[in-house]
Amino acid sequence: MTRISVIIVNYGTADLVIDSVESVLAQDHGGRTVDVHLIDNGSPGDDAARLAEAHEARGWGGRVTLYAERENHGFGRGNNVALRAIAAAPAPPDFVFLLNPDARLANDAIAILADFLERHPDAVAAGAAVQRPDGTKVTAAFRFPSPMREFIGPVGIGALQALFPRQQVALAPDIARQPVDWVTGAAFMARFDAMARAGFFDPDFFLYFEETELMWRLNEKPGAVWYVPEARVEHVAGAATGMKGGRHVSRALPVYWYDSWRLYHVKTRGVGAARAAALLRLTAAAASRALGPLRGGSDVPAHFFRDFGRNVLHPLFLGDPLMARPDGKTIRQRRA
């Protein structure tokens, strides 16, 4: 019988994550054995205690394993806490399913994705469709970012985007089942052995682009990663990250977004391509800002040019391209 481990990383969303766990436990999963690994990622307040209380009060028992971490590891490293514990178990699962703490199953998505992977042995990962609580579909499948895509999408010129449709990172929310470059980390299933071979999430990423970089490594051959919209999850976007409607509520992106953007491009395509992507992204932002009065506003984040210069251009051209400071230290300092 297929065994599946569900991993959920919580940060400050105790009420939502309890609903998320309950949505998993409420399904039959086609008779498969499913357990849940719930990590509290050093949440502020009393989240860890509330999750422990819910574990007892709701009778989760051995179906749910709790991890109370003392620090916020970020998304990828938080998932790695459970992934490494699972890897050390005498009998690791066949599949792992990663689910955001602010997401819940809208149908038996776990069974649907497991069915797909069982029927398609060449596929290593499959992502679910994502909808808002009001039923609105949102993009959950993407092309890999590249230097040209860093210009075509952010510049926001419709005619240019229509002329180069394959240079858009985000795919349409209503696409059919198909192989894709990567799927959202909010709800995807992967073969555990493939995740282990890939080394799980790269710990250099704190938040953003970590699932994109992971799927770059998982996508070893065509058809490795699939979008399976028959599986559906409901997602309250950004409850734990300060995002709302796809935008950061502060209008300014956090430093670790810039670090992760740069790290993704350096690690996947090299420093030269990362520099090209940075210059094209900067050009696109400048053009978008210049066109703002004609459009009734600009989508360029607050302080973008200052922050992009400090956290992307300077490290790429004058410093250490692998610099990152999610915890106040560079990557090399953390590894020392």
Is the distance from CB of 215 to CB of 202 less than 8 angstroms? no
Look at residue 173 and tell me whether its pLDDT is greater than 80.
Answer: yes
For residue 106, how many C-alpha atoms fall within 13 Å in the half-sphere facing its CB?
21
What's the pLDDT at 333?
44
Helices then strands, counting H and E runs in the chain, come out as 13, 14
Q: Token pair of 140, please?
A: 């959950």
Task: Please give the structure tokens belonging to residue 214.
Answer: 């992971």
Flag whether pLDDT at 238 surpasses 90.
Answer: no
* pTM, rounded to two decimals: 0.91
Residue 291 tokens, joined: 């066109």
What is the distance of C-alpha 117 from the center of its chain? 20
Domain ranges of the chain: 3-143+180-241, 247-335
DSSP track, 206-239: SSSSHHHHHHHHH--STTSEEEEEEEEEEE-TTT
- Percentage of the chain surpassing pLDDT 70? 92
Is there a contact between 34 and 110 (Cβ–Cβ < 8 Å)? yes
E-assigned strands of the chain?
Answer: 3-10, 33-41, 64-69, 95-99, 103-105, 125-131, 137-138, 141-142, 178-179, 182-183, 187-191, 225-235, 243-244, 247-248
- Maximum Cα–Cα distance across the chain: 62
Mean pLDDT of all residues in 157-171 = 91
Higher per-residue pLDDT: 300 or 336: 300
Q: Give yes or no for a contact between 109 and 231, defined as CB atoms under 8 angstroms apart.
A: yes
Burial 32-70 (b: 16+ CB within 10 A, else e): bebbbbbbbbbbeeebbebbeebbeeeebeeebbbbebe
Architecture of the structural domain at 3-143+180-241: Alpha-Beta Complex (3.90)
The predicted pLDDT at position 293 comes to: 86
Question: Parallel, antiparallel, or unpaired for β 178-179 and 225-235?
Answer: antiparallel
Q: What is the pLDDT of residue 299?
A: 87
Q: pLDDT digits over 271-309, tens only?
A: 999 999 999 999 999 999 999 888 777 889 999 999 999
The CA distances from residue 132 to 48, 69, 231, 232, 319, in Å, are 27, 29, 14, 11, 41
Q: Which amino acid is at 190?
A: A
> Nearest to residue 213, comparing CAs of 266, 274, 264?
264
- The answer, yes or no, to whether residue 334 has pLDDT greater than 50, is no
**pLDDT tier at 23, thresholds 50, 70, 90:** very high
CB distance 211 to 170 below 8 Å: no
